[in-house]
Amino acid sequence: MDIGLMVEGQNGLNWERWTRIYTLAERLGFPSLFRSDHYFIGEQQDSLDTYVSLAIAARETKNIRLGTLVSPMTFRPPVEIARMAAAIDLLSGGRFVLGMGAGWNEPEHVAYGIPFPERGERSGRLMEAVELVRALWSPGPANFDGKYYQLRDANMMPKPAQGRPWLLVGGSGPQRTLKVAARFADEWNCVNTPVTTYAERAAVLNAHCATFERDPSTIKRSMMTFGIVGPNEKALMHAAEIASHHVGRGQYDAKGLLAVAAERGVLHGTTDQVVDQLGKLAELGVNEVQFQHMDFDNDEVPEYLAAEIAPRVKNL
């Protein structure tokens, strides 16, 4: 199992902080660094455009894989997503991961005047968008005739590096999102999912794979977690305080957030506890877990993950 980092860029990210984070992630040897794609969630704060920030990181790093976790299909036409992904993939030398999802956060759509269709339409758009993006990355002109999107002899150039970028589908909707993942994705990602729920969703994904005559083992499995972790109780409580501000948003204090962490599928605890939780996910086939880096001005948690957690789970 690999341990990666994930940054919610709408939570006060600026250029100084972003430069610090991707430099740190590369120096510590993390295999991946992902960005959310939101205008805001809750409080409106500094927020860097996801694709612009990833283009900069692609130019300034050498080894780490970089990607979106995930881009809602409501924000941009899929043609623009395909073009930006191809450009960043070329810039990074084939290290870009395009994570795509249906979209869920209605308030940011309302605030910025972006249409927010009902769930069925969002899922339908995701299915078509993934197929259209793959078509544009393919050699030669692409044609697509969907309900929501169309192409007519569209020959997008330049093409991505090494054929096409790695394609990640995020979400756990059993009848729509997991079907998209089974048909098209190189990687399926879910967020803060309890072990029993994850096992159920993984079984659904495998069943969809059978429908498309696809080997389930060809799909990488990953999970993003808020990750309330630390080497000792003092560090753990500090991490919980930071998390209560970023993800609790006033609903839970530090102790309350730790109390509900297990039922919400949030990895939490000191080293042995976290390794045990990761071991259970590894047994279910999870290949990588991306921990959210919440305190942009403090390197302690990423350094702890790289030094203490990643080596313990590398061979799971």
What are the tokens at 299?
Answer: 């390197």
Confidence of residue 31 (pLDDT cuts 50, 70, 90): very high
Residue 279 CA, distance from chain mean position? 21
The model's pLDDT over 197-238, given as tens digits with 9 standing for 90+, comes to: 999 999 999 999 999 999 999 999 999 999 999 999 999 999
99, containing H or E segment: strand 96-101
pLDDT at 249 over 70: no
The pTM of this model reads 0.95
What Rg value do the Cα atoms of the chain yield, rounded? 19
User: Which of 56, 57, 17, 46 lies closest to 296 in space, CA to CA?
Assistant: 17
Q: Where are the alpha helices (DSSP H) in the chain?
A: 15-28, 50-60, 78-92, 106-111, 119-137, 177-184, 195-211, 233-243, 254-264, 271-283, 300-304, 310-313
Alpha-carbon torsion angle 185, 190, 194, 197, nearest 10: -40
Confidence of residue 251 (pLDDT cuts 50, 70, 90): confident
What are the tokens at 209?
Answer: 């794979």
Mean pLDDT rounded to a whole number for the chain: 95
The amino acid that residue 87 corresponds to is A
pLDDT for 110 equals: 98
Residue 209 CA, distance from chain mean position? 21
pLDDT at 248 over 80: no
pLDDT for 247 equals: 76
Residue 269 CA, distance from chain mean position? 22
Query: Do residues 310 and 3 make contact, with C-beta atoms less than 8 angstroms apart?
Result: yes
pLDDT at 76 over 90: yes
CA angle 281, 215, 6 (to 5 degrees): 40
DSSP 223: E
pLDDT for 162 equals: 78
Query: Do residues 290 and 223 make contact, with C-beta atoms less than 8 angstroms apart?
Result: yes
pLDDT for 250 equals: 63
What are the tokens at 76?
Answer: 């941009």
- Can you tell me the distance from the alpha carbon of 268 to that of 86, in angstroms, rounded to the nearest whole number? 36
pLDDT at 148 over 90: yes
Task: Determine the average pLDDT of the residues in 73-102.
Answer: 97
Please, is 189 exposed, middle or buried when counting C-beta atoms within 10 Å of its C-beta (0-12, 13-18, 19+)?
buried
CA angle 23, 28, 166 (to 5 degrees): 75
Residue 23 CA, distance from chain mean position? 19
What are the tokens at 176?
Answer: 């729509």
Q: How many helices (H) and strands (E) does the chain have?
A: 12, 13
CB-based contacts of 50, cutoff 8 Å, min separation 6: 9, 35, 36, 37, 68, 71
Residue 48 CA, distance from chain mean position? 16
